[in-house]
Amino acid sequence: MRIAHVRERHAPAGAPWRLAAALGGAAATEPAPSRWLDLEVARRRLVARDERRAHNNVLFRLPVLTLDDHLARGLRVEALGELVEGAASADFDPEGDAVLDAADLRFGPPILRPPAFRDFYAFEQHVQSMWDRRGGEIPEPWYRIPVFYLSNTSEIRGPDEPVWAPRGSVELDFELEVGALIDSPAVDLPEESAEAAIGGYFVLNDWSARDLQRDEMPVRMGPAKAKDFATTIGPWLVTPDEVADARAPGATGPELAMRSTVRAADGTETAISAGTWAAAHFSFGQMLARASADVHLRAGEIVGSGTVGTGCLLEVRDATLGRWLLPGDEVALTIERLGTLRAPVIARPDVSRHG
């Protein structure tokens, strides 16, 4: 199942996001769904056909608004499958205002207001590249402990939403990561079962200002303004069952390709990354066990895998694009079965987005 926040492309400013589910094939066979089911319209139609649904199930009793609202009610992502399955039944006509054409839609972040964002450092090739640049070796604890930093959640962006370098930076970079959504409150998760708390996965771009990062990291407090100006997630949420068959027994992740490209203002497209989710040194189960140790994780929190090997310009700039990102570029990050997440780079606005 693929879940997304959508609104019509020509909707008035401030129009609310609607929650939709992809119709058609699985993620493995239809990477970019063309038709989406409006889940609130589906809920109303299903209740009209059988009012007992509203009495027996809170999912049918209240309007389907956003995924944030859904999780706040104590429901998990998989519960939305009842609406999708109901719409597939013989007595339901999934047409009219229930079905939305992807060409007419804008997509928002899969979760609009995550209460927390922990970003890990799970791919050895990326970590090795960073330490090679410093003339050192990967610290031994990295191989034992999934480490992370806490990032900002106020600047979460969705697909196609513009990003710009923060004040004082001229070295804007992207980072290609797998993102995971927690959809069940948890604490002290055991790593062998921790992934059961994941409601879905998405593509994550952990934007970085490399010049600001060089100033911050020697202080040993971790990245701050080098990272917290923007995080892009999307294009939709993909439930774990859609990727499970691509994971070999004992593997840290599915064998799914991770790629990135940059298209310049003149239309020239440059391939940057070629990695795989299965190359992660730590699984999401191991990462969540670490994150939840003595800490309550909340539904709606997001977790990043860290950058896949070759998944940023800092690693491969000289061999690929030959420069940092510039206004007019478009970054496209693709993870097999999770979709392609695009973001245009623009010049920093003269005024805040918030006025």
Distances (CA, A) of 348 to 64, 166, 172, 220, 345: 36, 7, 11, 28, 9
Residues 86 and 176 in one domain: no
Range of the domain at 34: 2-106
CATH of the domain at 288: 3.90.850.10
Residues 137 and 92 in one domain: no
Q: Look at residues 2, 3, 42 and name the one whose alpha carbon lies nearest to residue 19.
A: 3
The mean pLDDT of the chain is 94
> Considering the domain boundaries, does residue 354 fall inside one?
no
pLDDT at 278: 98
Q: Cβ distance 182 to 197 under 8 Å?
A: yes
- Residue where one domain finishes, among candidates 84, 106, 128: 106
pLDDT at 37: 96
Q: Cα 321 vs. chain centroid, distance in angstroms?
A: 24
Positions of the chain with pLDDT under 50 = 354-355
Which token pair is 336?
A: 């097999």
> Considering the domain boundaries, does residue 13 fall inside one?
yes
Residues 26 and 167 in one domain: no
Task: Report how far apart the first and last C-alpha atoms of the chain are (Å, whole number).
Answer: 38
Residue type, 10: H
pLDDT at 318: 95
Q: Return the H-helix or E-strand segment holding 84.
A: helix 81-87
Residues 241 and 303 in one domain: yes
Residues 279 and 339 in one domain: yes
Cis peptide before 114 (omega within 30 of 0): no
pLDDT at 24: 87
Residues 189 and 241 in one domain: yes
Residues 188 and 279 in one domain: yes
pLDDT at 355: 45
Residues 122 and 66 in one domain: no
CA distance 5 to 99: 14
